[in-house]
Amino acid sequence: MGLKKAMGILVFSTQAVIGADYYFQTRDAGLHWGDLSATDYGTIVQDRFARARTAKERARRYGQDSSQPAWQKVSSSGSSLLGGGEQVASTASNAAAEQQPVCVRRGNIAEC
């Protein structure tokens, strides 16, 4: 019984997403509901998949491997930022040299 409910929810959700996407594509084309044929809508969907595939291949070609898990990307970014490199040191020294006063707003008056 639970499997039937899950399949029903899955089918209904899929139809709702496709219907909403069809509406958005029809609206973006400047047409009314039902004016965009199923063939034209299928062509639009195929073009979107082709663009995504091309972007993925381009990223892979230029060294941006999208198959790397997200946590590895984040951890490598954090280690490069917190590693004490020259860029971080120069940013810290520039921030110390250009200190701005702290302003407190009380009502309509700012006290710096």
The full set of domain ranges for the chain reads 1-63
Q: What pLDDT sits at residue 71?
A: 62
Residue 17 predicted with pLDDT over 90: yes
Residue-wise pLDDT tens digits, 86-105: 554 555 555 555 667 777 77
With both helix axes pointing from N to C terminus, report the angle between 2-28 and 38-61 in degrees, rounded to the nearest 10. 90
Residue-wise pLDDT tens digits, 39-90: 988 898 899 899 989 988 888 887 765 555 666 666 665 555 555 445 545 5
Question: Residue 54 and residue 48: Cα distance in Å, rounded?
Answer: 10
pTM for the structure as a whole: 0.48
Question: Residue 112 and residue 110: Cα distance in Å, rounded?
Answer: 6
